[in-house]
Amino acid sequence: MAIDFQAEVTKRRDAMMADLLALLRINSERADHLADAQHPFGPGPVQALETFLALAERDGYQTRNIDNYAGHFEYGQGDEVLGIFAHLDVVPAGSGWETDPYEPVLKDGKLYARGASDDKGPTMACYYALKIIKELELPVSKKVRFIVGTDEESGWADMDYYFEHSGVEKPDFGFSPDAEFPIINGEKGNITQYLHFSGSNGSDFVLHSFEGGLRENMVPESATAVFSAKKARFAEIETELSQFAAKNDLRTELTQDNDLFTITVTGKSAHGMSPQAGINGATYLASFLSRFSFAGAARDYLNLAGCILHLDYYGEKTGVAYTDTKMGALTMNPGIFRFDAASDDNTIALNFRFPQGTSSETIYQQLTKLQGPERVTVSKHLHEPHYVPPTDSLVSTLLNVYEKQTGLKGDEQIIGGGTFGRLLERGVAYGAMFPGYENTMHQANEFADVEDLYRAAAIYAEAIYELIK
């Protein structure tokens, strides 16, 4: 049976866009301060989940909401289950947007909104792909379970809860529409480790606070430090900061209130898997401040952040560097900085994407050797490296569909990012970004190319059908 999936998508373009815009208007950032028993990650993720499941019910699916952590609906019958894993939560919008991140804007063929490319746009493209199969009543021999989570951008507590409480077994194989074409069949390991500092803080310069970063998996766009020094030093600090900003292409702000100084440094956010693609405002600020005569815990904190962690994308100065011939190099993102002079526990969160051949324990042992931190702790959310070989029929089928629809060669790819594809032993990530696409995930002015979303929907439709027919 020859089916023109691109033509089928074209018939549904307006409906798909309308549903996507409704989803994008929901601020589904995790908000722990608003969390309760009915809203495990805050009200926004729940609203997005309920909205998505309502779309599925409108289109004739029976849905399940697993206590507002995650939900699913199913299509087809068969002993084998294809899992499609997507997520409706988003990283914080942050600053630097030219438009309202939660009021989608279409401009020059691009759809600007937080979540447009990660992951609401691809989720909707995949949803409409399955909708096409359902509406055409194509014959299938397997079941599809479409699963949506609400905590992918944080600790994946949504999926932990889902598999513990849903009463369903994991799908036999599947994919997540949350990355790139032609395919992501390998993902590095992912772990966050924390450096802890305490001790006295007194000298000619006294650091009162240092804050930067929104999430561990985002390069901190900006950071702010408040410190004391003799007010006569203002002109000197102002001149040096101006020179530092010009040299490093940074935006800076300096204010003074008698002996109290406040400096903000603004760089550029990026996905934590590619720290080299961003400009870490926090390590740049620490690099600037480390030239002054801070003492004790403040000196240790600023020196480590500004002299060791600064620009150390691959962990070379930190001593954790490792490269695997297949998976590539370990990367390190110093993602969250919190220093308060009144606290005896000041921290730096380091997010690592590590290949096979090294481990979280190896990284931990090396970090304990650093000068300055009094201790190191490790997040409980560890993801080991994941790989599905090209010989697997899942991988080969998805690559064949991609090649057929695009005319481009499909090769395996391994990334530092983590997707729900790794939830399954036979799980991969598949689209929706195409080769050469500008990746704005986790950045200000995130966008999705509208035509690419429609192209992806057609690829997803044929791919799903080939996997379950």
pLDDT tens sequence across 126-169: 999 999 999 999 999 999 999 999 999 988 999 999 999 999 99
**What are the domain boundaries of the chain?**
5-188+385-468, 190-378
Q: What is the pLDDT of residue 95?
A: 87
Tell which CATH architecture fits domain 190-378. Answer: 2-Layer Sandwich (3.30)
Q: What is the pLDDT of residue 155?
A: 83
- How big is the chain by its Cα radius of gyration, in Å? 24
- Residue 131 to residues 79, 125, 152, 227, Cα–Cα distance (Å): 21, 10, 24, 57
Q: What is the pLDDT of residue 1?
A: 64
66 forms beta bridges with 70
| Rounded Cα–Cα distance for residues 56 and 74 (Å) | 10
Low-confidence stretches of the chain (pLDDT beneath 50): none
Question: What pTM, to 2 d.p., does this model score?
Answer: 0.84
Does the domain at 5-188+385-468 match CATH 3.40.630.10? Answer given as yes
The rounded Cα 102 to chain-centroid distance in angstroms is 18
Q: Using alpha carbons, select from 362, 268, 266, 380 the residue that is nearest to residue 318.
A: 362
Q: Which residues are catalytic?
A: 89, 152
* 5-188+385-468 and 190-378 share one fold: no
